[in-house]
Amino acid sequence: MKTRQLILTLLLGSAVGIWPGIAASAPGGSTNTRNFKVTEDPVFPSALRLEGILEGSVTVLLVIDKAGNLQDHLVLDASHRLFGKAVTDVLPSWEYFPIKENAQPVNAARRLTVDFRGGRAVISLLPHLAVEGIVPGVARFNERRRAYAVASLSDLDQVPTPIKTVEPYLVRPAGKSHHGRTVTFHFFIDETGRVRIPTADHEAMANDDENLLEAVHNALIQWQFTPPTIRGQPVVTRATQPFHIFKNPADA
C-alpha cells in the first residue's frame, strides 16, 4: 500500500554519484571489451570534413543493466554536435554484456570516449566512472564549431522547476525501517525536462539498502521539469534531489 512518507526538497547542484555495484572495466583502445562489442563504427560526418574539421571527440555516459541491456545513454561533451550524433546513432546497435562485481551482475554506468582522427573513430571505455570529476561547462554555441557540453545550472536562463513528482513506493514494514533517513540522488535533466540516469550518491550507497535505493530511483525517473535553456536554446543540465523520509502518522 502506498504511503505518503516523503517531504521533497529540491536542491539543485553539480555533483553526480553512481549506482550500486559499479565495476572497473578493461582499458580501452579495442572494439571488443568486457562490457560491449562494437558492431557498427561511428561514421565520420562528411559535412564536417567539407568544413575542414578533421578531428574531434565525444564523451557519452552509458547505462548497462544487470541483463546486459543498454538502458540509456547521454552525451556529456562533444567538440561538435555532429560528432555526438554520429556516436549516438550507432550505440543501440552494439552488443552489450552484463557488468559483474563479486561475480554478480550489477546495474552500471560507464563513460565512453570516442576520438575522431584521420577520418575514423577510435573508441575507448574509461576504466573508472569518475563522473563526479566532470565539471559541467557552458553549453557552448560557437557558430563555427558548434561544440556541446552539459550545462552548469548557473548558466541557465532559469533554474528548472519540477512540474511532476512521484513519491517512492515503500511498503510496510520496509517503509517504517527507513524513517528519519535522507537519501540523495543525482541526475541529468534533458532538453525536454525529463530526468535521465538517476544515481545514488556515495553516502547513500554505503548506508542504505538496495530496496530503498531502487524505490527512489523508480520514482525519480518519472519526474518532469521545465526544460533547461540557455538563451532560449534547450540544453542538458545536472541536478541533485534529497529525499527526506519521515514517519507516517498511520505508522505511529
Domains and CATH numbers, the chain: 6-18+155-251 (3.30.2420.10), 36-128 (3.30.2420.10)
Residue 204 three-state SS: helix
C-alpha span between 93 and 49 (Å, rounded)? 25
What is the end-to-end Cα distance of the chain in Å, rounded?
16
Q: What is the pLDDT of residue 179?
A: 59
Q: What is the pLDDT of residue 19?
A: 43
Q: What is the pLDDT of residue 127?
A: 46
pTM over 0.95: no
∠ CA 107-61-170, nearest 5°, is 40
C-alpha span between 6 and 177 (Å, rounded)? 14
Q: What is the pLDDT of residue 202?
A: 63
Q: What is the DSSP letter of 32?
A: B
Q: Give me the tens of pLDDT residue by residue for the chain, a chain 252 residues long.
A: 333 333 333 444 333 333 433 322 333 333 334 678 889 999 999 999 898 888 999 999 988 888 999 999 999 999 999 999 999 999 999 999 988 777 888 888 888 889 998 777 788 765 444 444 444 444 444 444 478 889 988 899 999 999 999 888 765 554 455 556 778 888 999 999 999 998 887 665 555 577 778 888 888 999 999 999 999 999 999 998 888 765 454 544
C-alpha span between 11 and 241 (Å, rounded)? 6
C-alpha span between 59 and 55 (Å, rounded)? 14
CB 146 within 8 A of CB 75: no
CA dihedral (40, 187, 67, 101) in degrees, to 10, reads: 110
CA dihedral (7, 178, 17, 122) in degrees, to 10, reads: -120
For the chain, how big is the Rg over CA atoms in Å?
Answer: 20
Q: Strands 108-117 and 55-64: what pairing?
A: antiparallel
Give phi and psi for 105, each to the nearest 5: -65, 145
Count other C-beta atoms under 10 Å from residue 21's C-beta: 17
Burial class (CB in 10 A: 0-12, 13-18, 19+), 64: buried
CA-wise closest residue to 96 among 66, 124, 73, 64: 64
Query: At 211, which helix (H) or strand (E)?
Result: helix 210-220
Measured CA to CA in angstroms, residue 46 lies from 12, 33, 114 at distances of: 39, 28, 17
Dihedral sign (CA 176, 168, 71, 21): negative
